[in-house]
C-alpha cells in the first residue's frame, strides 16, 4: 500500500468522523430543546449521552488525523495507536456519563420523587427521529470501520448504536409516563446508563488488548501463516508474532532456509516474504523477517 493510498483512506475516515460530529451536534440541539420542554430525566440522560458522544466524535476525529501521520524519529512504528487512544478516551467519557445517570435515576427511584413530565408526545416524536438517524449513521460508521479497520470509527459506531437502543427505552418509558407511571422515566434512564456501561466495557477491553500487544484473532494469524509458508524458498518458520497498532498489524517472524543458500539469496527470500504479506494483507504495515539456516540440514550433515 502506497502513502497515497493511506492518505486516501485517511481522508475517507476523517469524512466519516466529520459526519458523526455534525449529526451529534444536531441531536444535542434537538434534545436540549425537548429536555427543557418536558423535564424528563430519561431525555436528559439521552442529552448527556449525545453530549459525550459529540466529545467522543471530536476525539475520534483527532485520533484518526493523528494516526494518519507518517512515522517519525520519536514514533518509528507510526502513530496508528492514537486511534486506540481515542477509543479509550471515548470509553472513559461513556463511563462518567453512565455513572452520573445511574446516580440521578437511583436517587429518584429510592426517594420516589419524580418530575412531572410535560409534552411527552413531543419527547416520543424526537426519540423516533433519533432512532432513524442513529440507525442510518451507525450502519454507515460500522461499514467504514470495517473497511478501514478504524478503532476510533468503531467506537463512534457503537455510540450511535447505544443511542438507538437508549432512544427505544426512552420511548417505552415515556409511554408508561403517559399512562400514569412516572417511575418509568427514571427506569428508562437507568436502562440507558447500564447499556452505555456495557458498551464502554467492550470498547475498553479492545483498547486494553491493543495496548497490551495481545495477538489479533486466530483467523488473522492463520492467514499470515499461510502466506509465509507458501513463499518459495521458506522451508519452515517459527516465532511468529503479530500485534495490533490502530488499524494496522506489525509482524515479526523467523524463517528457515537451506544452509546452502548465500546470504544474498536468504535476504532476497526475506524481502519476498515481507512484500507478499503486505500485498495480500493490506492491514499489515511492518514486517520484520529473521533468516536462519534449516537446523535439520546441519544434523544430517554431522551424522
Q: Indicate the domain borders of the chain.
A: 3-211, 218-302
What percent of the chain clears pLDDT 70, i.e. is strictly above it?
Answer: 78
- The phi, psi pair for 74, rounded to 5°, reads -85, -20
Closest C-alpha among 87, 79, 218 to residue 158:
87
Largest CA distance in the chain: 91
Which pLDDT tens digit goes with each residue over 73-95?
776 666 666 767 777 777 787 78
* Residue given cell 520519536 in the structure block: 74
Task: Specify whether domain 3-211 bears CATH 1.20.1510.10.
Answer: yes
Output the pLDDT for position 7.
45
Output the pLDDT for position 254.
92
Output the pLDDT for position 205.
79
Superfamily of domain 218-302: Cation efflux protein, cytoplasmic domain (3.30.70.1350)
- Collect the ranges in the chain with pLDDT lower than 50: 1-8, 298, 302-303
The reported pTM is 0.56
* Domain pair 3-211 / 218-302, same fold: no
Output the pLDDT for position 295.
66
Task: Spell out the alpha helix ranges (H) of the chain.
Answer: 3-38, 41-67, 81-111, 120-148, 151-178, 183-211, 218-230, 263-280, 295-302
Exposure b/e, 203-218, CB count within 10 A at least 16 = b: bbebbeebeeeeebee
Output the pLDDT for position 237.
87
Amino acid at each position: 500500500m502506497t502513502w497515497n493510498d493511506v492518505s486516501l483512506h485517511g481522508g475517507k475516515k476523517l469524512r466519516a468522523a466529520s459526519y458523526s460530529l455534525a449529526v451529534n451536534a444536531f441531536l444535542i440541539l434537538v434534545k436540549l430543546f425537548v429536555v427543557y420542554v418536558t423535564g424528563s430525566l430519561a431525555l436528559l440522560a439521552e442529552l448527556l449521552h449525545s453530549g459525550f458522544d459529540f466529545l467522543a466524535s471530536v476525539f475520534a476525529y483527532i485520533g484518526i488525523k493523528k494516526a494518519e501521520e507518517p512515522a517519525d524519529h520519536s514514533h518509528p512504528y507510526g502513530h496508528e495507536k492514537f486511534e486506540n487512544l481515542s477509543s479509550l478516551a471515548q470509553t472513559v467519557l461513556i463511563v462518567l456519563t453512565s455513572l452520573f445517570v445511574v446516580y440521578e435515576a437511583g436517587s429518584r427511584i429510592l426517594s420516589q420523587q419524580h418530575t412531572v413530565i410535560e409534552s411527552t408526545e413531543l419527547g416520543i416524536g424526537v426519540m423516533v427521529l433519533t432512532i432513524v438517524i442513529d440507525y442510518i449513521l451507525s450502519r454507515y460508521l460500522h461499514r467504514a470501520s470495517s473497511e478501514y479497520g478504524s478503532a476510533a470509527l468503531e467506537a463512534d459506531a457503537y455510540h450511535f448504536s447505544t443511542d438507538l437502543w437508549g432512544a427505544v427505552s426512552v420511548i417505552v418509558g415515556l409511554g408508561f409516563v403517559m399512562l400514569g407511571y412516572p417511575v418509568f422515566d427514571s427506569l428508562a434512564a437507568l436502562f440507558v446508563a447500564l447499556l452505555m456501561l456495557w458498551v464502554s466495557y467492550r470498547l475498553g477491553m479492545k483498547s486494553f488488548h491493543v495496548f497490551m500487544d495481545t495477538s489479533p484473532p486466530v483467523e488473522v494469524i492463520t492467514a499470515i501463516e499461510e502466506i509465509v509458508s507458501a513463499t518459495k524458498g521458506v522451508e519452515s518458520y517459527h516465532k511468529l508474532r503479530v500485534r495490533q497498532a490502530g488499524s494496522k498489524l506489525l509482524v515479526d517472524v523467523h524463517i528457515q532456509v537451506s544452509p546452502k543458500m548465500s546470504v544474498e539469496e536468504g535476504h532476497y527470500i526475506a524481502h519476498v516474504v515481507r512484500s507478499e504479506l503486505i500485498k495480500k494483507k493490506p492491514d499489515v504495515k511492518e514486517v520484520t523477517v529473521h533468516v536462519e539456516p534449516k537446523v535439520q540440514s546441519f544434523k544430517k550433515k554431522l551424522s
